[in-house]
Amino acid sequence: MAVATHAHYLGKEMYATAELRDGTSKLILSIKDWDLNWQSEYRFKHWIDLPAGTVIKQRFVYDNSSDNVRNPSAPPRRVTFGPNATDVMGSLWCQLLVKRTDDQSKLDQAILAKTVRETVASKSKVLAANPDDFSAHLQLGKIAIGLRRYTSAIKHFERAAAVDPKSADVLYFWGQALFRLRRNREGIAKMQECLRIDPNFLRAHHDLGFAALLEKNLTAAEEHFQKALAINPYDASTLKNVGNML
């Protein structure tokens, strides 16, 4: 349906192609003299059919020389990847529409799997350079929960907590991993630690309420659910569990 692209002052040329499984290639983007002000959405006059197995490839050209009239540095200086307009980066987005509604979940799963692979690779590289990087351990632990690798997740949370023992986020997700392993007593303890650091951590109140509900401790369950609703009266999960208690 459309493509959108992004680059900074040093961007010069942008190309994107759709490589089909039959060996043919379709040009879907061609900008030969990029301008920072062209960061926009480009809609196709005629939609392009991209069957399963299509690979989108992009090639961006950068010009960090004095010949680039848009170069913000004179003389040119070394630049690295970053979010500022004086840094260098480039990205391409594609807006797609599935032919059949049941294909949407397949597309979502494929995008999620790709994002997870890229994030794991990126954060693993960070840890190779700095084994004590807090953010990388936290992110990899959360991903491991999503992949049902709970023991691996706990190892990352242990490393993250060693760096920052007062992180409510680490304690919460650590508790989640323990719950998934049916180590409920330990999970409850981590959630309680989380709340001692941040009494307004809604998800910890919700999960402790749910744990109490499973143990048929309705008094404790109601207490935590009410605290969660005091933080967000419209939290759907909490409202559902309160309804189940009635």
pLDDT tens digits for 216-230? 999 999 999 999 999
Which has the minimum average pLDDT: 8-22, 91-105, 156-170? 91-105
Written as one letter, the residue type at 107 is L
pLDDT of residue 110: 86
Please name the residues in contact with 229: beta carbons below 8 A apart, sequence gap of 6 or more: 235, 238, 239, 242
Could you read off the pLDDT of 56-101 as tens digits, one per residue?
999 999 999 999 999 999 899 999 988 888 888 999 999 988 888 8
Q: How many CB atoms lie within 10 A of CB 175?
A: 27
Please name the residues in contact with 228: beta carbons below 8 A apart, sequence gap of 6 or more: 202, 205, 206, 209, 235, 238
Q: Token digits for 224?
A: 């935590």
Contact 141, 178 (CB under 8 A): no
CA distances in angstroms from 105 to 102, 109, 111, listed in the order given: 6, 6, 10
Contact 53, 47 (CB under 8 A): no
Which has the minimum average pLDDT: 29-33, 37-41, 148-152? 37-41
Quote the pTM value. Answer: 0.72
Provide the angle, in degrees to the nearest 10, between the axes of the packed helices 218-231 and 202-214: 160
Mean pLDDT of 94-110: 87
pLDDT of residue 157: 98
Written as one letter, the residue type at 98 is V
User: First CA to last CA across the chain, in angstroms?
Assistant: 48
